[in-house]
Amino acid sequence: MIDLSNFSLPVIYLVFFAGMIFISAAINGLLLKFSTNLGAKNEMQQVRWASTTKPAFGGVSFFIIFLASIVFYAIFFGNSQILLNIKFLGLLLASSLGFMMGLADDAYNTKPFLKFAVQFLCALIFIFTGNVIQTFSYEWLNIVLTFLWVVGMMNSVNMLDNMDGITASVSLIICSGAAMILVFTERFSDIDLVLIMGVISSIGGFLYYNWNPSRMYMGDSGSQFLGTFLAGIGITYFWNAPDYYGQMIPEKQVLIVACMFIVPLSDTTTVSINRVLKGQSPFVGGRDHTTHHLSYMGLSDRHVAMIMILISVVFMSLSVLIINNIETWSLSYTLSFGVLFLLVSGGLYSTTKISKPKMKK
């Protein structure tokens, strides 16, 4: 353990954050430099919304920084017994499994059945390590909801990764919301805060290469890792966020999650509804996402990303406000925040009805 008595925690976190951003940018820069040779061997090149093929190594930096954050916590906070924390182990194992499955999919284009099997296994890991959503009085309903949440989030983040900078930015904002909750409750020595700050910094270093016009994608290794990680922190800090009096209020929990994850939830719901109505599979890739339709309406890729970022920031702020500032929940809050969520989600859905697909130049 390193003696931290001469340093304040804000300084330690600032140095950690800046250092991890630098390391993330360096890792991605190195991978980008050698992407031609690496891609020739394992085909880790992808075509997304843009018409050009780009390397998909961003997820590698996410996972390296994630592991480095654990080492940092063990050294600087002197908690070498962290591996005895069963809930932390669940997050570590599930996120690692999600990353490895995504990496295999990037390299070998694995079968959809195998991907779903791994996603179900990630959900099982969360459940057996106590990372379970607590909303219903019946435990089996909580387990079913946890299954749907983990698998849904892993697929939702993967589906959202269809345009430069959006998935990374939205994930960064969601992580920032969780970090704010930890800071407001003064849990500065919590392993989760170190992990979240590490993931935020890894995304920041990656965004330098992923912002439009991007030079690199995160790949399935990145989207599956982020989907698993966000599902985990979503259970702990949003689904299971108690009210001021320590009680669980189902409608409040649902609205907190809906607001915090509005962009991936609304996009996945929109795509799924439209494809099912057309008799198509919701899990097959396509250019029919809300982000694509905003582009069809004449917005540039950067403007689309900025709109999604603005929506995420506003609703993340609302979620943090609900958690930290509303003491007594009432029906008026349920109606107000519920209507606001439906208006924005409905607005995004309407773009798929009023815009016409165009060929991407």
**Domain parsing of the chain, residue ranges:** 9-354
End-to-end Cα, the chain, rounded Å: 55
pLDDT score for 39? 45
pLDDT score for 82? 78
On the question of pLDDT at 193 being above 90, the answer is yes
55 DSSP β-pair partners: 45
Report the half-sphere exposure of 139 (CA within 13 A, side-chain side): 5
User: pLDDT over 90 for what percent of the chain?
Assistant: 61
CB neighbourhood size of 312 (10 A): 25
Q: How many Å apart are CA 280 and CA 285, to the nearest integer?
A: 11
On the question of pLDDT at 201 being above 90, the answer is yes
What mean pLDDT do residues 2-26 have?
80
What mean pLDDT do residues 5-13 have?
71
Residue type, 352: T
On the question of pLDDT at 168 being above 90, the answer is yes
pLDDT score for 41? 40
56 DSSP β-pair partners: 217
- Quick check: pTM over 0.75? yes
Instruction: Give the strand pairing for 45-46 and 54-55.
Output: antiparallel
On the question of pLDDT at 81 being above 80, the answer is no
pLDDT score for 52? 63
**pLDDT tier for residue 42 given thresholds of 50, 70 and 90:** very low
Summary mean pLDDT of the chain: 88
**Range ranked top by mean pLDDT from 109-118, 242-251, 340-349:** 340-349
Q: Which is higher by pLDDT, 301 or 280? A: 301
Sequence-distant (≥ 6) Cβ neighbours of residue 75 within 8 angstroms: 1, 2
pLDDT score for 55? 81
pLDDT in tens, 56-66: 888 999 999 99
Written as six digits, the tokens of 336 are 């107000």
Is 123 within 8 Å of 260 (Cβ atoms)? no
On the question of pLDDT at 259 being above 70, the answer is yes
